[in-house]
């Protein structure tokens, strides 16, 4: 099928939209509501293009191509209409770009700029709606919302949570929770996928940078930072460096420039998690269940399970997440051992995740005081780096601190969907057989597929394994498991599609290409590593020797494991 786009004839595919054809031609048509991979809703109308045969404006995101079509994507008429639509949005939008968390990343701002909006053409009443600050992770400012509906769609169609929906109608329509309640009483799992797709500053993470700055400024405080495996392969993008670049060494240096006293990779505690979780799996294999065992590192998933499938809570691994294991180890083991008062240790974690802010605040995650004092996202870290005037590209790389600076590449793999499974399988195999897997790489659990399955025979026992990411996919899988349609021994669940490399705290403008690059980067680190299994990490062995006895011991349980309980929310 042939169509003409801006005078150029091109081959188009049956059933594709004008927008998809145009993008293949390298033509960018602006849109505010389009979501790759989901059916079009035709909400924003910004993507209208002119059908040259009829002179009509048609939405390129939803209109299928037809043979002989002649389209002008940027005709005068189309551009003028787009501009008016943007002007209309601005007319009911707050005028405070300078104070907006979306400043610089806001798509509305960019389009206003690109379309040459230089004056306030329309003005009038705006809807006054209160800020929702009830959530520990996400701030919602409905006044900045342009009702593109992307957050609603990601929350229901991708994550299957549906904490928010459109409410009301006409000009008083808005997006909110049931009964206009705050996010904190809704079923929101704090995953932040809504934040990732919001084109304006209506959805942002709760900013914890100031608390970190205050601690850094306090000479009596020892400020310790841990950083998640998926942060070092994405932070670079915030500074214009190629997606997928691994900059962990430079990041370590940046932390020290900012005044952090200790820098530990969370990959270390990921190794610790592997030890505990593999041990738990081995125990369950020996005692016959309960199966499947679910991973527990992703706090969005855990809250989802508590809300939607409380009857399955017994299946979740009792292991704390790597963030919380590291937090507990720092405050409860390392600080006393180092002669520090735990109350004078300020524990910061940098996470690709907004749900981690919620997790750190869970009452189970501390010993009176929280184990982790502040959680900041990759984006907040980038903000701090900029604030401190650090040129990340010219920094000289530095090593992490001991005693928790050493990590296996298995712990690093936690950043991608399938990584926990791969790391745990390597160690579980060793625990049961005393040998390492011949081929450490488990290809079947790698990649961006929604659900990945494989079987692994260890010591004559065949284990059925599954990896799922995105809560919508997880929910479907879970229902199949409950209905007896699927059967597994061990299931890894990541809240965000693709895992932490696509987490809700990652740089904006995340697209599948970037996610793939970040994933490849983690795989490359694993390929090039010499230490590729958690059980060979000498620092881990030392930790057990000095403090925790052995995996699954009473001490280990006290510090590294947790409990879950059903959660009543508006769902």
Binding of residue 20 to other proteins (CB under 8 A): no
Binding of residue 182 to other proteins (CB under 8 A): no
Cβ neighbour number for residue 206 with a 10 Å cutoff: 18
How far apart, in whole angstroms, are the C-alpha atoms of residue 208 and residue 377? 9
Q: Is 317 a catalytic residue?
A: yes
How far apart, in whole angstroms, are the C-alpha atoms of residue 478 and residue 374? 32
From 3, 112, 151, 163, residue interacting with other proteins (rule: CB under 8 A): 163
What are the backbone dihedrals phi and psi of residue 376, each rounded to the nearest 5 degrees, phi first?
-120, 155
To the nearest whole angstrom, how small is the minimum distance from the Cβ of residue 40 to other proteins? 6
How far apart, in whole angstroms, are the C-alpha atoms of residue 435 and residue 419? 20
From 72, 146, 254, 302, residue interacting with other proteins (rule: CB under 8 A): 146
Q: Is 356 a catalytic residue?
A: yes
Binding of residue 477 to other proteins (CB under 8 A): no
Burial class (CB in 10 A: 0-12, 13-18, 19+), 310: middle
* Nearer of residues 155 and 278 to other proteins, judged by Cβ: 155
Q: Is 97 a catalytic residue?
A: no
* Nearer of residues 122 and 388 to other proteins, judged by Cβ: 122
Binding of residue 428 to other proteins (CB under 8 A): no
* Nearer of residues 24 and 571 to other proteins, judged by Cβ: 571
Q: Which stretch binds other proteins (CB under 8 A): 117-125, 235-243, 415-423, 545-553?
A: 117-125
To the nearest whole angstrom, how small is the minimum distance from the Cβ of residue 134 to other proteins? 15
List the one residue out of 361, 332, 339 whose CA is nearest residue 349.
361
How far apart, in whole angstroms, are the C-alpha atoms of residue 16 and residue 63? 8
DSSP 353-395: -SHHHHHHHSTTSEESEESS-EEEEHHHHHHHHHHTT--GGGP
* Nearer of residues 84 and 184 to other proteins, judged by Cβ: 84
Binding of residue 125 to other proteins (CB under 8 A): yes
How far apart, in whole angstroms, are the C-alpha atoms of residue 44 and residue 89? 10
Q: How far is CA 436 from the centre of its chain?
A: 31
> Contacts with other proteins in 85-114 (CB under 8 A)?
85, 88-89, 91-92
Q: Which stretch binds other proteins (CB under 8 A): 155-163, 256-264, 335-343, 541-549?
A: 155-163
**Which token pair is 159?**
């994550």
Q: Which of 33, 47, 61, 500 is catalytic?
A: 500
The H or E element that residue 59 is part of is strand 57-59
DSSP 450-462: SEEEEEEEETTEE
Binding of residue 46 to other proteins (CB under 8 A): yes
From 122, 311, 393, 512, residue interacting with other proteins (rule: CB under 8 A): 122
Helices (H), 259-298: 266-287
From 4, 6, 75, 167, residue interacting with other proteins (rule: CB under 8 A): 167
Binding of residue 42 to other proteins (CB under 8 A): yes
Q: Which of 237, 280, 306, 492 is catalytic?
A: 280
Helices (H), 503-571: 512-528, 538-543, 554-560
* Nearer of residues 17 and 222 to other proteins, judged by Cβ: 17
Q: Quickly tell me which residue has 């209905």 as its tokens.
A: 483
From 103, 121, 311, 338, residue interacting with other proteins (rule: CB under 8 A): 121
Binding of residue 48 to other proteins (CB under 8 A): yes
Q: Is 205 a catalytic residue?
A: no
26 three-class SS = coil
What are the catalytic residues?
A: 277, 280, 297, 317, 356, 359, 364, 500
Q: Where along the sequence are the contacts to other proteins (CB under 8 A)?
A: 40-46, 48, 56-57, 59, 62-64, 77, 80-81, 84-85, 88-89, 91-92, 121-125, 146-147, 149, 156, 161-173, 176-179, 186-187, 570-571
């Amino acid at each position: 099928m042939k169509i003409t786009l801006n005078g150029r004839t091109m081959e188009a595919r049956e059933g594709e939209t004008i927008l998809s054809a145009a993008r293949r031609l390298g033509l960018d048509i602006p849109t505010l509501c389009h979501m790759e991979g989901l059916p079009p809703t035709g909400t924003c109308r910004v993507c209208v293009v002119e059908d040259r045969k009829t002179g009509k404006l048609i939405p390129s995101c939803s209109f299928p191509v037809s043979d002989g079509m002649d389209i002008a994507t940027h005709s005068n008429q189309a551009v003028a209409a787009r501009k008016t639509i943007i002007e209309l949005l601005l007319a009911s939008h707050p005028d405070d770009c300078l104070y907006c968390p979306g400043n610089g990343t806001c798509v509305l701002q960019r389009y206003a700029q690109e379309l040459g909006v230089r004056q306030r053409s329309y003005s009038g009443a705006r809807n006054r709606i209160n800020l929702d600050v009830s959530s520990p992770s996400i701030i919602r400012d409905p006044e900045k919302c342009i009702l593109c509906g992307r957050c609603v769609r990601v929350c229901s169609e991708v994550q299957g949570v549906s904490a928010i929906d459109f409410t009301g109608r006409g000009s008083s329509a808005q997006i909110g929770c049931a009964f206009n309640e705050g996010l904190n009483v809704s079923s929101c799992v704090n995953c932040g996928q809504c934040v990732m797709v919001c084109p304006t500053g209506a959805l942002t993470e709760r900013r914890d940078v100031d608390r970190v700055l205050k601690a850094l400024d306090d000479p009596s405080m020892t400020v310790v930072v841990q950083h998640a495996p998926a942060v070092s392969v994405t932070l670079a993008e915030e500074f214009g460096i190629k997606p997928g670049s691994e900059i962990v060494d430079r990041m370590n240096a940046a932390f020290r420039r900012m005044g952090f006293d200790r820098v530990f990779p969370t990959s270390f505690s990921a190794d610790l998690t592997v030890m505990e979780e593999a041990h738990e799996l081995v125990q369950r294999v020996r005692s016959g269940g309960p199966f499947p065992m679910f991973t527990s590192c992703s706090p969005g998933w855990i809250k989802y399970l508590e809300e939607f499938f409380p009857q399955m809570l017994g299946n979740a691994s009792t292991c704390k997440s790597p963030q919380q294991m590291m937090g507990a180890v720092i405050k409860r083991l390392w600080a006393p051992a180092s002669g520090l008062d735990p109350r004078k240790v300020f524990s910061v974690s940098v996470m690709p995740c907004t749900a981690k802010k919620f997790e750190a605040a869970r009452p189970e995650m501390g010993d009176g005081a929280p184990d982790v004092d502040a959680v900041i996202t990759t984006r907040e870290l980038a903000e701090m780096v900029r604030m401190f005037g650090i040129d990340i590209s010219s920094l000289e790389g530095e090593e992490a601190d001991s005693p928790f600076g050493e990590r296996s590449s298995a712990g690093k793999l936690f950043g991608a969907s399938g990584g926990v499974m791969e790391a745990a399988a390597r160690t579980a195999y060793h625990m049961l057989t005393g040998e390492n897997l011949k081929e450490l790489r488990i290809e079947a659990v790698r990649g961006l597929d929604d659900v990945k399955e494989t079987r692994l025979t260890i010591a004559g026992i065949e284990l059925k394994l599954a990896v799922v990411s995105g809560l919508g996919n997880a929910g479907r899988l879970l229902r199949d498991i409950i209905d007896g349609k699927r059967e597994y021994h061990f299931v890894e669940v990541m809240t965000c599609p693709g895992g932490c490399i696509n987490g809700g705290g990652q740089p904006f403008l995340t697209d599948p290409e970037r996610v793939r690059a970040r994933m490849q980067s983690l795989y490359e680190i694993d390929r090039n590593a010499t230490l590729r299994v958690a059980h060979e990490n000498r620092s881990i062995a030392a930790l057990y020797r000095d403090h925790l006895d052995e995996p699954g011991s009473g001490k280990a349980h006290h510090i590294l494991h947790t409990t879950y309980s059903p959660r009543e929310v508006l769902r």
